[in-house]
Amino acid sequence: MKSIHDTYTLSGGLQIPCLGFGTFNPNGEDNGKLIQSAIDAGYRYFDTASIYGTERALGQAIKVSGLAREKFFIASKVWIDEMGYAETKQAFARTLDRLQTDYLDLYLIHWPRRTEGDTDWKEVDRETWRAMEELYAEGKIKGIGLSNFLPHHLDNILENCKVRPIVNQLEVHPGYSQEAVTAYCKSKNICVQAWSPLGRSNVLQHPILRDMAAKYQKSVAQLCLRFLLQKQIIPLVKASSLERMKENMDIFDFEISAEDISILEYMPQDMWQKEHPDFAIPKAKSNFEQ
């Protein structure tokens, strides 16, 4: 990989850029301006979700850019209160409407369970997947995948699907490298993507990371993103300023040694966001009116 425009070929043949821009924006900056800056910086892969409230701003920013829709790679996700066969079809229609497009490059199930006590999650996941398979067969989505699925959630899909998931989006960064589930995905030919690749900035002051980044004459953010790139995990990174957006793209001119990759994989695993697909599921409701 030599730039953020280089792609991996996923099972099924879909070309996916090796780094994307995340549009989850908890700081409340103007979504339109943020995404327009990211387009100006050069990002073309945008990760959104119905729950983020950024689909409409993303669709508008793409329109304003004057660039053809095909120049972009757009991924969105079905939220936990939109799951089920009919509900997913409706959620997908709303997502397309907000994005002002007639297809998605990638559509994901956001979380495998709706609540911690969800007893029918297996059936709900299968029905949600069945709707996504049909949308894929109709050509409305180029690739379908999952997010926050651990091996027992993945098996439920893999054992019952007609179309196999091509990606699984997980929290992955130094200090939470999720080696077991990422290895499982690799064994099933499922590409791993990293959400919060900078640990939502929690990891940036860590002394191990600061010392290692200084050794490579790079920032800690660049070290985290390069770590993922070398593991063939696609980082989805959010930043607010043009300067940081560009910094996060500038990761193709150095190589982390195998020993340092191992240190980053196995440093203390205590820097996660405390969201868990079985035991700590986010509670927010989708905002269908956005």
Active site residue 45: no
Determine, following the binding rule CB under 6 A, whether residue 188 of this chain makes contact with ligand NAP. Answer: no
Nearer to ligand NAP, 101 or 196 (CB): 196
Residues ≥6 apart with Cβ < 8 Å to 129: 109, 144, 157, 160, 161
Amino acid at 56: R
With contacts defined by CB under 6 A, name the span among 2-10, 62-70, 206-214, 234-242 that binds ligand NAP.
234-242
Q: Alpha-carbon Rg of the chain, whole angstroms?
A: 18
Q: Please report how close the Cβ of residue 247 comes to ligand NAP at its closest, in angstroms.
A: 4
Q: Does 128 bind ligand NAP (CB under 6 A)?
A: no
Cβ(18)–Cβ(4) under 8 Å?
A: yes
Stretch that binds ligand NAP, among 124-132, 150-158, 177-185, 233-241 (CB under 6 A): 233-241
User: Least distance from C-beta 173 to ligand NAP, angstroms?
Assistant: 7
Residues 241-260 close enough to bind ligand NAP by CB under 6 A = 241, 244, 247-248
CB-based burial of residue 181 (10 Å sphere; 0-12 exposed, 13-18 middle, 19+ buried)?
Answer: buried
Binders of ligand NAP among 37-56, rule CB under 6 A?
47
Q: Which position's Cβ is nearest ligand NAP?
A: 22
> How near is the Cβ of 75 to ligand NAP at its closest, in Å?
8
At closest approach, how far in Å is the CB of 47 from ligand NAP?
4
Q: How far is the CB of 204 from ligand NAP (least distance, A)?
A: 6
The rounded distance, in Å, linking the Cα atoms of 267 and 177 is 9
Site residues for ligand NAP, 190-229, by CB under 6 A, read 195-201, 204, 219, 221
Of the candidates 43, 45, 52, 107, the residue annotated as catalytic is 52
Beta carbon nearer to ligand NAP, 177 or 248: 248
> Site residues (CB under 6 A) for ligand NAP?
22-24, 27, 47, 110, 147-148, 169, 195-201, 204, 219, 221, 236-241, 244, 247-248
Q: What are the residue numbers of the active site?
A: 52
